[in-house]
Amino acid sequence: MNELKKLNEGGTPSERPFLLIYTNKDNVVNYEWLKTKEELVRVMEEVKGYGCQVLDSTLIASCRVEFP
């Protein structure tokens, strides 16, 4: 766990930290990266309106590690 903490200290903030995973009418898995929680909720409602099924949504860590 300490190794992960050390890696994250040098990371950069994520521009789109929210991830939405859903399936469309053809049962194909899709994903969207979103900037805000409000945008996430709006897109969730939109895809549901098209008959898609939301599988999961999450807030990714506040920073990502850049590897050389």
pLDDT digits (tens, 9 = 90+) for 27-43: 999 999 999 999 999 99
* Mean pLDDT along residues 6-33: 82
pLDDT at 2: 46
Indicate if the pLDDT at residue 51 is higher than 90.
Answer: yes
Whether 9 maps to a domain, the answer reads no
58 within domain boundaries? yes
Tell me if 24 is assigned to some domain: yes
- pLDDT of 7 > 50? The answer is no
Global pTM value: 0.70
Can you list the positions of beta strands (E) in 1-68? 12-13, 18-23, 29-34, 53-59, 63-64
Torsion-angle region of 21 (φ positive above 0: left; ψ -120 to 50: alpha; else: beta): beta
The total domain count for the chain is: 1
Structural domain of residue 40, as residue ranges? 16-62
User: Average pLDDT in the 2-20 region?
Assistant: 65
The answer to whether position 50 is within a domain reads yes
Q: Is residue 68 part of a domain?
A: no
Within-domain flag for 55: yes
- Residue 56: count other Cβ atoms within 10 Å of its Cβ: 9
The answer as to whether 47 is a domain residue is yes
CB atoms within 10 A of CB 8: 13
User: Domain for residue 2, yes or no?
Assistant: no
